[in-house]
């Protein structure tokens, strides 16, 4: 089946007595009552082996399994496990793969909370780390005998650098001990699938585009066959659980991913092109723009673009950037993205980079372009840029 057809048909319930509901029923359960102890034990063995086995609510219900099957189809992986948030999913990957004395390589353009997770939580527990530049094609030179994980994110958070996952995976897979994990939230399995290019794990914050309506917090990790058993065991040991209601809402949103995602991209490209020509803008960080240094790689590897990008404001300090965002009328001011609404958020690039020095560059604002009319959004951005520029430096 083609991708769009899978989005409609994946994770649907089977026919029973010749009929079925279109959507998987919402099954809420903690205790699962078995007719016999033997039946309970058989189901338990299946669950331990990594199968979708309805044994206890924390391990998932049929509603949970439906969403996991859907994401596995979308990401073209071996199996998927769900988590309470994107960051919970990422943390569980680290806990599954790393122990004191190990070493992890993390892309420098990583999502800011992951940077804190690495520099504080992991470092305090004796796990060494290094950051590497997202466009560095010689990452292998940072490998150590104790390196166990390379953590990538493509495009990078805020500044949207693409990584060559194919090249990175070739380097990683020459060392059997090293696992390659990739945050795939920007693409959400729609226009890029890291496992197809050699990654072992693909992580999605389903809070964003899979749900698409800003009313669910959820995360997923999809694994290849070599890593899935460890992922499954770690999730069971940590007791991560996801609400069946959140799974149902995410499935409902994901059914229209192929309608929403290209529309976000279409509107975002119009807005990005307008911003790129504005005198107050130094650079728009968006791989779908022909001016992007990653545009050729994006064209070769990606089947579309998200509505999220970064805007570097020419000569603006952080105070002016905040004023610009506060002057916006149609853009919400808040965390997350991927919903139907547009959002704007100033970003501290100086504190969130270890390799590239941003101290002499303009302030950066992350924009998510929603499903509003792009003409209205452009008009709003124009008036906010005028207001922030006229006020001068803070």
pLDDT for 90-108, tens place per residue?
A: 999 999 999 999 999 999 9
Q: To the nearest whole number, what is the mean pLDDT of the chain?
A: 94
> 355-383: per-residue pLDDT in tens?
888 888 889 999 999 999 999 999 999 99
How far is CA 54 from each of CA 3, 65, 229, rounded to the nearest angstrom? 28, 9, 17
- What was the pLDDT predicted at 393? 64
pLDDT of 392 > 70? The answer is no
> 166-224: per-residue pLDDT in tens?
999 999 999 989 999 999 999 999 999 999 999 999 999 999 999 999 999 999 999 99
Residue corresponding to tokens 């001011």: 333
What is the mean predicted confidence (pLDDT) over 321-328?
A: 96
Question: Any residues with CB less than 8 A from the CB of 136 and at least 6 apart, and which?
Answer: none
- What was the pLDDT predicted at 342? 98
Give every strand in the sheet of 332-333, ordered side by side: 281-285, 308-313, 364-368, 343-347, 332-333
What is the mean predicted confidence (pLDDT) over 53-76?
A: 94
pLDDT of 394 > 70? The answer is no
- What was the pLDDT predicted at 359? 83
Q: Where are the alpha helices (DSSP H) in the chain?
A: 3-9, 37-48, 62-75, 86-97, 112-116, 165-172, 228-238, 244-254, 257-276, 295-301, 318-327, 374-391
What is the mean predicted confidence (pLDDT) over 154-162?
A: 94
What is the mean predicted confidence (pLDDT) over 230-250?
A: 94
Q: Which domains does the chain have, with CATH numbers?
A: 3-30+61-254 (3.40.640.10), 257-391 (3.90.1150.10)
pLDDT of 13 > 90? The answer is no
What is the mean predicted confidence (pLDDT) over 133-162?
A: 95
Calpha distance 114→86 (Å, rounded): 10
- What was the pLDDT predicted at 137? 83
């Amino acid at each position: 089946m083609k991708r769009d057809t899978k989005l409609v048909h994946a994770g649907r319930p089977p026919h029973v007595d010749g009929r079925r509901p279109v959507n998987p029923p919402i099954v809420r359960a903690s205790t699962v009552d078995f007719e016999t102890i033997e039946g309970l034990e058989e189901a338990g063995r299946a669950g331990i082996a990594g199968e979708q086995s309805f044994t206890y609510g924390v391990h998932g219900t049929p509603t949970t399994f439906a969403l996991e099957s859907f994401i596995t189809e979308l990401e073209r992986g071996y199996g998927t496990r769900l988590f309470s948030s994107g960051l919970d999913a990422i943390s569980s990957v680290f806990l599954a793969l790393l122990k004191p004395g190990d070493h992890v390589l993390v892309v420098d353009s990583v999502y800011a909370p992951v940077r804190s997770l690495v520099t504080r939580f992991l470092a305090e527990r004796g796990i060494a780390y290094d950051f590497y530049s997202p466009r560095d094609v010689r990452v292998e030179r940072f490998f150590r005998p104790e390196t166990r994980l390379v953590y990538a994110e493509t495009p990078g958070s805020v500044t949207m650098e693409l990584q060559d996952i194919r090249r990175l995976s070739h380097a990683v897979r020459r060392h059997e001990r090293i696992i390659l994990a990739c945050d795939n939230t920007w693409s959400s399995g729609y226009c890029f699938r890291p496992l197809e290019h050699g990654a072992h794990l693909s992580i999605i914050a389903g809070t964003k585009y899979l749900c698409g309506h800003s009313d669910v917090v959820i995360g997923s990790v999809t694994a290849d066959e070599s890593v899935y058993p460890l992922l499954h065991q770690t999730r069971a040991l940590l007791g991560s659980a996801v609400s069946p209601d959140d799974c149902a809402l995410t499935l409902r949103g994901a059914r229209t991913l192929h309608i929403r995602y290209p529309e976000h991209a279409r509107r975002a490209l119009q807005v990005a092109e307008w911003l790129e020509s504005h005198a107050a803008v130094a650079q728009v960080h968006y791989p779908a723009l022909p001016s992007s240094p990653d545009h050729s790689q994006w064209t070769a590897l990606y089947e579309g673009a998200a509505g999220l990008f970064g805007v570097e404001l020419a000569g603006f300090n952080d105070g002016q950037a905040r004023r610009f965002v506060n002057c916006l009328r149609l853009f919400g001011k808040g965390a997350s993205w991927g919903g139907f609404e547009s959002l704007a958020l100033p970003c501290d690039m100086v504190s969130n980079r270890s390799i590239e020095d941003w101290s002499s560059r303009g302030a950066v604002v992350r924009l998510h372009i929603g499903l509003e009319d792009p003409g209205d959004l452009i008009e709003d951005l124009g008036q906010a840029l005028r207001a922030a520029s006229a006020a001068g430096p803070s």
